[in-house]
């Protein structure tokens, strides 16, 4: 049961991450990406509540909250990937002093 709960929330995060990547590729709406993925996550949370038996929310308000949190988590995942893919620039700057 616990694994199903994690999988449903992860699915929303992955979908929102891909939507955020599409927005980034579009290029003109970068500052709105957190809002877009948050709203998308909220919508997917409500859809998930009605379609997934093991969804972690039983009412619409909690489903929206779970979805928004999952959608916003996708921006955090993006930042982790971004930070890990950069070279340790702060280390090289410190060693140059």
Residues near 32 by beta carbon (within 8 Å), at least 6 away in sequence: 23
Q: What are the domain boundaries of the chain?
A: 2-86
pLDDT band at 8 (very low <50, low <70, confident <90, very high): confident
Whether the model clears a pTM of 0.95, i.e. scores above it, the answer is: no
pLDDT at 1 over 70: no
Q: Would you call 83 helix, strand, or coil by DSSP? A: helix
DSSP annotation of 32 reads G
> Tens digits of per-residue pLDDT, 14-58?
999 999 999 989 888 888 999 999 999 999 999 999 998 888 889
């Amino acid at each position: 049961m616990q694994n199903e709960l994690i999988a449903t929330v992860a699915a929303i995060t992955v979908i929102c991450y891909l939507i955020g990547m599409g927005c980034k590729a579009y290029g003109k709406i970068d500052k709105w990406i957190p809002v877009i993925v948050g709203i998308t996550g909220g919508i997917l949370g409500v859809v998930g509540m009605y379609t997934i038996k093991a969804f972690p929310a039983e009412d619409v308000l909690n489903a929206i909250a779970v979805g928004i949190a999952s959608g916003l988590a996708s921006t955090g995942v993006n930042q982790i990937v971004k930070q890990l893919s950069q070279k340790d620039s702060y280390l090289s700057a410190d060693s140059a002093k």
